[in-house]
Amino acid sequence: MKTYPMIIGGETIDTGKTFAVINPASGQAFALAQEADVAQVDAAVAAARHAFAAWSELPDTDRKRLLHRLGDLLELHTRELMELVTLETGKPLHGLDGVGAGMELGGAIAWTRATADLDLEPVVIQDDHLARVEVRHKPLGVVASITPWNWPLMIAIWHVIPALRAGNTVVLKPSEYTPLATARLVELANQILPAGVLNLVTGGGAVGAALAGHAEVNKVVFTGSTRTGKRIMEMAATTLKRLTLELGGNDAGIVLPDADIPKIAAQLFGAAFHNNGQTCACLKRLYVHERHYEELCAELARLAAEMKVGDGMDPATQLGPLQNQAQLDIVRTLSEEARALGGTILAGGKAKPGPGYFFEPTIVAGLTNGTRLVDEEQFGPILPVIRYRDVEEAVRLANDNPNGLGGSVWSSDVSRAEEVARRLQCGSVWINGHGAVQPDAPFGGIKQSGIGVEFGRQGLLEFCSVQTLKILKQ
């Protein structure tokens, strides 16, 4: 069984202690990863600190060139990385609507190249006979990146590339459930980046806590649950670290009375079920006008029953397993509670027999706000469909949640949909779609879905401090 190394200061590290990585399609271990302790976290931060001076002074053109080389290297190793992603996450190679390991690699490459090309030119706000005033953006120092298990490689890219582009150095800690593709990414990156610029430590929550609370870390960027994000915020407070937190979501979709149901049903299903619902910005609760409720419920149930669920290494698989046993247990419990509270299971509703963490794609009717399946983020292949009578009620129900990551409005009248969309309390809103993000458009949550934004120039500036330079003219 192969063991994947940690990398600190450009060197592979053998800690003498490993942990198993499970293939969720089988429930069996298929590889090992090094397990770090506090000493390795200290060493990684020290390596990043040592590398910072030279990396931050490197000309922009050189940093851009090296990041483009990394994008080329990812493309060269696409198939290898795709297979690692599928083996450790369970997601299909291709998947429902093309959302799978292939899309994860394609997205990682595209984000690397687009972010490499962003500029950080000074902004001149005054230049006259009295003074010249410029706003400059400077790197922060050492950035700690803590990534989740649902999109391990792409989210690592979302964290790491803007940090490096801005001139910071990075210590990356992936989820202990999915460390392998990330470990391979860091191994490839260290073929072209100076030693210590990108370091990897692997292990469980204690490793993440040591990194988040480290006195020599200047910023923490974290994607994951709101509960863990709050703990990271507490640890970061001791040294007033900068934070970017992309946390839990419970995205609502509203289907307006004029919607074309046959046209949008498959799109709605894909928005809710791609990656088995294990995406922060998946559609997680769907509000449907009573005029279309029965029709849309029936069509979503039909689509759920037709899905090919299986091992992600099978090219025909549309939906794979849940990534881990704990997440399977959460989805199973929510399904059982929904049934007990009067919800009608229109399709699915139970785990599949046999090995692996498989759960049937599930559509639940007859619930509303105030039940766990509607109020909490399920992060799995189960969708509550909620009936509403008028648009005011739909907006009120959609906003009645502590999360505020994304939302969507579905209508044949784009102007009417835009009016409703402006009233949704969330960081991103889509009309006649849901969850599509891109490297040049800011993405982030409000309320308890996070702090800060990612992507584009706004996301890049999250990795910088602001320095105002004022030159008085004599």
Q: Are 162 and 462 in contact (CB under 8 A)?
A: yes
Interatomic CA distance for residues 95 and 64, integer angstroms: 32
| Structure-block tokens of residue 124 | 């001149």
122 DSSP assignment: P
Q: Is residue 104 among the annotated active site residues?
A: no
User: Is 143 in a helix, a strand, or coil?
Assistant: strand
> How many Cβ atoms are within 10 Å of 165's Cβ, its own excluded?
23
Q: Is residue 464 among the annotated active site residues?
A: no
The active-site residue out of 88, 246, 299, 377 is 246
Say if residue 9 is exposed, middle or buried (CB neighbours under 10 Å; 0-12, 13-18, 19+). middle
Interatomic CA distance for residues 176 and 157, integer angstroms: 17
The active-site residue out of 104, 280, 299, 377 is 280
| Structure-block tokens of residue 471 | 């030159």
List CB contacts of 6: < 8 A, sequence separation 6 or more: 12, 13, 15, 34, 36, 40, 44, 183, 200, 201, 202
Region class of 101: left (phi > 0), else alpha (psi between -120 and 50), else beta: alpha
Q: Which amino acid type is present at position 317?
A: T
Interatomic CA distance for residues 372 and 381, integer angstroms: 15
Interatomic CA distance for residues 296 and 302, integer angstroms: 10
- Residue 448's closest CA among 228, 242, 284, 254? 228
Polymer length in residues for the chain? 474
> Which residue numbers are catalytic?
246, 280
